């Protein structure tokens, strides 16, 4: 009898210990992101199920708004009030700005265990580190300089997919004559700038882009090439429809999906929308480099910054999330839905379509040739203050038909001095 009760007590103790261990293991991760469109939401749910598969709880903190401006505003107020999420979609130089505030966690433990230094391109790994320690984990590589075309619209108009800006306007005229909206656009700052930077790259080339938009060189910003870029950019506007102001990017993509519009200049998250709508690249729609940019690549790497947490179980869940994001299985599923390519090197791309394969090839080729450039519209290139001021000036020019190119150019050059 005595022995029996001892055994029972021992078993009960073991069970309690196991429960306690389980409790430490299962944590909650609150994740801030802005992936709310059709394709984006599918990709986000891949992240959620990966985390849940490990027994953790996913607390969704989605803030709608393409390009993430709304999400960043909400994030700031949460962090200021001492209530940061575990992980937030933060990218490029903004990672350094957040890390300098002392609010991000050092995730070197998981990075070392998972050998991130050897499976990430160094140019990406460096952005994920602050003072040599990983503070964020990258998810993907988006290419921004794409032109999306509707096969049905181009067929109806008898137009040819353009490879340079002269051809672009020829195609736009034909589409217009056929009663099709030539360019699907959403008039929001970040979308205006997404178009602007593709025009700058196509008209001026990668060296001009780097000097003017990355180094913010005043001579380039005030020079003749920039004048040509601005004139071309403004000409694009004349082929957009009157309902463009304020339109969300995915609604613009839907216009191309339905063949109501012929073209959209947008990063490859747009492909996620075509795929979510059951459309096939090649058969239904075309992906080609934005006019004049076939030999360049504007990159936009999504990443999650990890915030400092106190609860042990939640820290464990946060580290598990970071490890899962970099795993080959997740990189494949997520990027198939998102329209981007894996950020992890050496991945098998056999399940990816031709747009993704072209992107992967051009990413490697342009890195070698020096024409791989960071996207300004997507927070990859310059500190947020200067980026915001330049984007405002570019959108003012786009919206105000009375503003001269000369005035716009002076405004942009002076915005570039914002510290």
SS (H, E, C) the chain: CHHHHHHHHHHHHHHHHHHHHHHHHCCEEEEEECCCCHHHHHHHHHHHHHHHHCCCEEEEEECCCHHHHHHHHHHHHHHHCCCCCCEEECCCHHHHHHHHCCCECCCHHHHHHCCHHHHCCHHHHHHCEECCEECEEECEEEECCEEEEEHHHHHHHCCCCCCCHHHHHHHHHHHHHCCCEEECCCECHHHHHHHHHHHHHHHHHHHHHHHHHHCCCHHHHHCHHHHHHHHHHHHHHCCCCCCCECCCHHHHHHHHHCCCEEEEECCCHHHHHHHHCCCCECCCEEEEECCCCCCCEEEECCEEEEECCCCHHHHHHHHHHHHHHHCHHHHHHHHHHHCCEECCCCCCCCCCCHHHHHHHHHHHHHHHHCCEEECCCCCCCCCHHHHHHHHHHHHHHHHCCCCCHHHHHHHHHHHCCCC
| Min dist. Cβ of residue 300 to ligand BGC (A) | 5
Residue pair 340/268 in contact by the 8 Å Cβ criterion: yes
Least distance to ligand BGC from the beta carbon of 45, Å? 14
Taking the complex as a whole, the smallest distance from the CB of residue 36 to ligand BGC amounts, in Å, to 8
Minimum distance between the CB of residue 99 and ligand BGC, rounded to whole angstroms? Answer: 19
The reply on whether position 302 binds ligand BGC by CB under 6 A is yes
66: contact with ligand BGC by CB under 6 A: yes
For ligand BGC, give the closer residue by CB, 270 or 413: 270
Residue facing ligand BGC at closest CB distance: 269
Stretch binding ligand BGC (CB under 6 A), from 65-73, 115-123, 233-241, 251-259: 65-73
Q: Tell the smallest beta-carbon distance from residue 123 to ligand BGC (Å).
A: 17
Contact with ligand BGC (CB under 6 A): which of 134, 165, 269, 285? Answer: 269
Q: Which stretch binds ligand BGC (CB under 6 A): 66-74, 179-187, 221-229, 349-357?
A: 66-74
Our finding on whether 142 is near ligand BGC (CB under 6 A) is yes
Q: Is 67 in the site for ligand BGC (CB under 6 A)?
A: yes
Question: 160 — phi, psi (to 5°)?
Answer: -110, 140
Stretch that binds ligand BGC, among 11-19, 62-70, 122-130, 281-289 (CB under 6 A): 62-70
Q: Which is nearer to ligand BGC, 139 or 159 (CB)?
A: 139
- Which of the ranges 64-72, 113-121, 178-186, 323-331 carries the binding residues for ligand BGC, by CB under 6 A? 64-72
Q: Which of 253, 296, 300, 359 binds ligand BGC (CB under 6 A)?
A: 300
Count of residues engaged in binding ligand BGC, rule: CB under 6 A? 11
C-alpha to C-alpha distance for 390 and 382, rounded to whole angstroms: 10
Chain residues 20-49 in contact with ligand BGC, contact rule CB under 6 A: 34, 40
Distance of CA 256 to the CA centre of its chain: 20
Q: Which of 95, 378, 389, 416 binds ligand BGC (CB under 6 A)?
A: 378
CB of 273 to ligand BGC, least distance (A): 10
Stretch 84-113: interaction string toward ligand BGC, x if CB under 6 A? ------------------------------
Q: Which is nearer to ligand BGC, 165 or 249 (CB)?
A: 249
Which lies closer to ligand BGC via its Cβ, residue 197 or residue 409? 197
Q: Which residues bind ligand BGC (CB under 6 A)?
A: 34, 40, 66-68, 142, 249, 269, 300, 302, 378
């Amino acid at each position: 009898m005595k022995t029996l009760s001892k055994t029972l007590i021992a078993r009960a103790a073991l069970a309690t210990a196991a429960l306690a261990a389980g409790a430490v293991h299962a944590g909650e991760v609150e994740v801030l992101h802005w992936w709310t469109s059709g394709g984006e939401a599918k990709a986000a749910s891949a992240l959620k199920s990966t985390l849940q598969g490990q027994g953790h709880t996913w607390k969704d903190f989605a803030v709608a708004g393409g390009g993430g401006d709304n999400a960043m505003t909400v994030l700031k107020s949460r962090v200021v009030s001492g209530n940061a999420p575990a992980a937030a979609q933060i990218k490029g130089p903004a990672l350094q700005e957040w890390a300098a505030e002392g609010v991000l966690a050092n995730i070197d433990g998981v990075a070392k265990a998972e050998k991130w230094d050897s499976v990430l391109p160094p140019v990406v790994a460096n952005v994920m580190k602050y003072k040599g320690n990983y503070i964020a984990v990258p998810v993907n590589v988006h290419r921004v300089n794409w032109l999306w075309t509707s096969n049905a619209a181009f067929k109806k108009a008898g137009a040819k997919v353009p490879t340079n800006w002269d051809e672009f306007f020829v195609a736009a005229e034909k589409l217009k004559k056929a009663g099709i909206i030539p360019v699907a656009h959403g008039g929001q700052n970040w979308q205006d700038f997404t178009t602007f930077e593709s025009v700058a790259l196509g008209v001026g080339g990668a060296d001009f882009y780097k000097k003017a938009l990355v180094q913010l060189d005043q001579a380039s910003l005030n020079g003749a090439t920039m004048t040509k870029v601005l004139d071309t950019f403004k000409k694009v506007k004349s082929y957009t429809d009157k309902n463009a102001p304020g339109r969300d990017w995915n609604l613009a993509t839907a216009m191309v999906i339905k063949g109501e519009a012929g073209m959209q200049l947008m990063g490859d998250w747009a492909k996620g929308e075509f795929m979510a709508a059951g459309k096939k690249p090649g058969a239904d729609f075309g992906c080609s480099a934005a006019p004049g940019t076939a030999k360049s690549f504007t990159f936009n790497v999504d990443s999650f910054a990890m915030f400092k947490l106190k609860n042990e179980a939640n820290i464990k869940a946060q580290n598990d999330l970071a490890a899962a994001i970099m795993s080959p299985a997740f990189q494949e599923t997520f990027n198939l839905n998102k329209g981007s390519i894996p950020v992890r090197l050496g991945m098998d791309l056999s399940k990816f379509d031709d747009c993704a394969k072209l992107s992967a090839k051009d990413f490697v080729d342009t890195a070698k040739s020096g024409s791989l450039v960071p996207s300004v519209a997507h927070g990859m290139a310059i500190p947020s203050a200067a980026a915001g001021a330049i984007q405002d000036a570019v959108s003012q020019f786009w919206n105000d038909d009375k503003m001269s190119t000369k005035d716009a150019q002076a405004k942009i050059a002076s915005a570039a001095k914002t510290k």
